[in-house]
Amino acid sequence: MISRNKDWFVQSSYWRNVSRVLQRMGGPFEEQLEVSVSPINSDDYSWKTLGEVRIRRHVTYSAADVFTHHFPEYLEGELETRLGKGIADALLHVNLLSEVDPVKVREASRQWVWGGGIPFVLIARDPHKFPALIQFWIDHPGSTNQQLLFLPVIREHEELLKRPVVDRVPRSWMDHYLQLMSNMQPLDPRTSEVKQFLEDNPVDAISFPQVPLFNKDET
């Protein structure tokens, strides 16, 4: 599997986990920006940290780190199973770097004191384009102090869910679509039902990543 954003993947020679490189260090770039795409350990905490989609920077380089454009498909499947397709897509394919707000980065860098990178939704220009990531924090709350930083985003997220129309898409349309798509897997027998529904109920300018709770992991 190759990232749809054509990014590099790198395996850390120290931690042994794999990250997607959002900005590679070298030339005019004095730091490397990454997001982990595999957990450091197999415990629940490591998977929870992975689901938080933390952006972190490095200013050091190890010649033993291994760079590649290829990511194992079985690991992509495990990400979707453990974290949901919305988060897996964000980790592997979405152009996260273009969505980062530099002003929010400076603010969050002062407030986020827990290390391991800053959760993407805290520094995104429009975090509500990534409802699965916000929902992950609702379903897997951090410490009290961490949740205080997320509270404004979560409250806005909840208000958006109350609107009868979001992005010109009727609420009834989204509710039915989400019901159909809930926990669907590739080659799911309901695929034909979803296709027929989309043909019978067209909408203009819908952006599926902005549909609230799309691909929410309910396992």
pLDDT confidence of 198, banded at 50, 70, 90? Answer: low
Average pLDDT over residues 194-212: 49
For 217, the token pair is: 């992991």
pLDDT of residue 76: 93
pLDDT of residue 103: 93
pLDDT confidence of 171, banded at 50, 70, 90? Answer: low
- Considering only 83-87, 106-110, 186-190, which range has the smallest mean pLDDT? 186-190
- Considering only 110-119, 150-159, 198-207, which range has the smallest mean pLDDT? 198-207
Whether the per-residue pLDDT at 208 is higher than 60: the answer is no
pLDDT of residue 182: 54
pLDDT confidence of 145, banded at 50, 70, 90? Answer: confident
Residue 114 β-bridge partners: none
CB atoms within 10 A of CB 147: 13
pLDDT of residue 27: 86
For 12, the token pair is: 């850390």
Question: What's the Cα-to-Cα distance from 84 to each of 11, 205, 214, 218, rounded to whole Å?
Answer: 23, 24, 9, 8
- Calculate what percentage of the chain has a pLDDT beyond 70: 74
Which pTM value belongs to this model?
0.72
Average pLDDT over residues 75-86: 94
Query: What does the mean pLDDT of the chain come to?
Result: 81
Average pLDDT over residues 160-189: 57
